[in-house]
């Protein structure tokens, strides 16, 4: 075999192995996350807008403002703190919950109505992860879960959304 063939095989083997490791880590990460929210449909009926698409950047210690969109024809109602859960993924395969220092006023149950005439179908959600800078970016996953209301009556259906946000040091 020629040098080029050996080099090609070496490069392809490296790419295959490194991609396989990433897929394995990602599937472990996603599997562990699903265990935190069993039986809750995520990112199909409500979803966060991707902050990267809007060129938003956040720093450790700052508040994080996100936009949540209702994709249904029903109203979604949340607990008074939006039920915000903040996580970071720690190897080997577990999510660690990060406290939220955010305070929410007035008391009550925030909701996001469906899109319609005069109704944008979105709501702003702010949070303040209790993290200290480690001198490197920290990826957090923000999740919320709400209850579907049909004709202003609560159903037994809960829906959720999550988004990954990178906090710069």
pLDDT for res 8: 43
The CA R_g of the chain, rounded to the nearest whole Å, is: 20
Q: Are 83 and 146 in contact (CB under 8 A)?
A: yes
Could you tell me the pTM of the whole model? Answer: 0.82
Kind and range of the H or E run holding 46: strand 46-48
Identify the weakest region by mean pLDDT among 8-17, 30-39, 122-131, 152-161.
8-17
Do residues 127 and 110 lie in contact, with contact meaning Cβ atoms separated by under 8 Å? Answer: no
Unique residue bearing structure tokens 């990060």: 98
Cα torsion angle, 64, 165, 86, 59, sign? negative
Q: Is residue 10 predicted with pLDDT exceeding 60? A: no
How is domain 40-168 classified at the CATH fold level? Immunoglobulin-like (2.60.40)
């Amino acid at each position: 075999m020629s040098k080029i063939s050996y080099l090609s095989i070496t490069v392809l083997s490296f790419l295959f192995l490194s991609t396989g490791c990433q897929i394995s880590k990602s599937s472990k990460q996603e599997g562990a996350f699903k265990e935190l929210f069993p039986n809750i449909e995520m990112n199909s009926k409500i979803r966060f807008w991707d902050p990267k698409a809007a060129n938003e950047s956040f720093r450790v210690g700052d508040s994080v403002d996100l936009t949540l969109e209702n994709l249904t024809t029903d109203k979604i109602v949340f607990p008074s703190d939006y039920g915000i859960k903040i996580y970071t993924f720690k190897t080997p395969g577990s999510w660690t919950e990060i406290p939220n220092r955010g305070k929410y006023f007035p008391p009550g149950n925030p909701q996001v109505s469906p899109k319609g005439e005069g109704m944008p179908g979105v709501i702003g959600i702010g949070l303040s992860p209790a993290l200290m800078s480690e001198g490197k970016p920290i990826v957090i996953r923000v999740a919320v879960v709400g209850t579907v209301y049909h004709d202003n009556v609560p159903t037994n259906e809960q829906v959720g959304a999550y988004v990954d946000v990178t906090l710069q040091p």
